[in-house]
Structure 1
């Protein structure tokens, strides 16, 4: 099982706390990689602050289940590896992010059946129980062609989000990252 909170500078204590409590109560041992980012280090075995891109790809490929924050790129990567990700979006009201774009994005994907949306501890625990009893429940067909289209869509969403954040902070948008992602998607068409 892989849990990825991403690399955002805001801590995501809520998800890590939920996982720690669940892990402590789980009767059967679960092989777990918990990428906790800027969140406090977890006592759960397999907790690491960050994974490089190659290590994250390998962990996603090897995982039975992928639990992640609502970051578009992480969701895209999980789906590319054949996972229906279990998504807990960051909540800006709890200091987990600067705005609610993860919540909006994850809710839209949840309504479309593209992620298993979990906004409460109970929803997450239910998804984990269901996934452990039948991991195939959270598998999707990996499609390289869909990946290219999704990468372009993620790049466009990212550029829009960056523009909105820049406007609210009254600073120029940083388009380099999203432009690189969009160019990469266009080059693989």
Structure 2
């Protein structure tokens, strides 16, 4: 199953939902597609869509998905990566009236620049199918998010000891 989430922003994300529905209609995507469509007006015919899911349902959908396609909200894509799920980030873009600015795009690129995470960013729908195919058939799972707690605690302990 492919899980798609567009978040809770009040502007729709018709561009993404329509493209996924077209890919499913053409038979290019064989997997079931489940969509949290938020305020998107377009009602898909070939994918299962619901406006919102409860937090419990969202957690289950994240766990069950073979691939997660998400808007550019960092909390959402970092949650997917933390679960080791192949993840495609499709930032909402101002030029399509999907958001008030391009902060989702800017932030996703900044995350990639750190080199710590490899986000699969798609900005144009003509790129989406290739990225889905890559993620499902060629990409290894994303790594679990590295915890720096132990390192921080060790460094903090050394600082405290030096002060005593």
Normalising by structure 2, we get a TM-score of 0.79
* In 1: Cα distance, 2:82 partner to 2:146 partner: 7
Aligned position for 1:106: 108
* In 1: Cα distance, 2:69 partner to 2:107 partner: 16
Pairwise mapping of residues 82-161 of structure 1 onto structure 2 (< 5 A)? 82-111=84-113, 112=115, 113-134=117-138, 137=139, 139-143=141-145, 145=147
* In 1: Cα distance, 2:148 partner to 2:4 partner: 24
1:93 aligns to what SS in structure 2? Answer: helix
Structure scoring higher RCO (CA < 8 A, sep ≥ 6) equals 2
Specify which structure has the higher proportion of strand.
Answer: 2
Aligned position for 1:16: 17
Distance 1:10 1:102, change over 3 A: same
* In 2: Cα distance, 1:110 partner to 1:117 partner: 9
Is 1:37 the counterpart of 2:38 in the alignment? Answer: yes
- Asked if 2 retains the 8 angstrom alpha-carbon contact of 1:110 and 1:117, the reply is no
What is the CA RMSD across the aligned residues, in angstroms? 2.0
- Please state how far the C-alpha of 1:138 moved relative to its aligned partner: 5.0
* In 2: Cα distance, 1:128 partner to 1:14 partner: 16
Q: Deviation above 3 Å: which 4+ runs of structure 1?
A: 110-113
- Asked if 1 retains the 8 angstrom alpha-carbon contact of 2:21 and 2:47, the reply is no
Normalising by structure 1, we get a TM-score of 0.69
1:98 aligns to what SS in structure 2? Answer: coil
- Asked if 2 retains the 8 angstrom alpha-carbon contact of 1:84 and 1:114, the reply is no
- Asked if 1 retains the 8 angstrom alpha-carbon contact of 2:36 and 2:52, the reply is yes
Distance 1:117 1:138, change over 3 A: farther
- Asked if 2 retains the 8 angstrom alpha-carbon contact of 1:36 and 1:42, the reply is no
1:2 aligns to what SS in structure 2? Answer: strand
* In 2: Cα distance, 1:59 partner to 1:10 partner: 23
* In 2: Cα distance, 1:28 partner to 1:52 partner: 26
* In 2: Cα distance, 1:79 partner to 1:28 partner: 22
Aligned residues: 145
Aligned position for 2:157: none
Gaps of 5+ in 2: 150-164
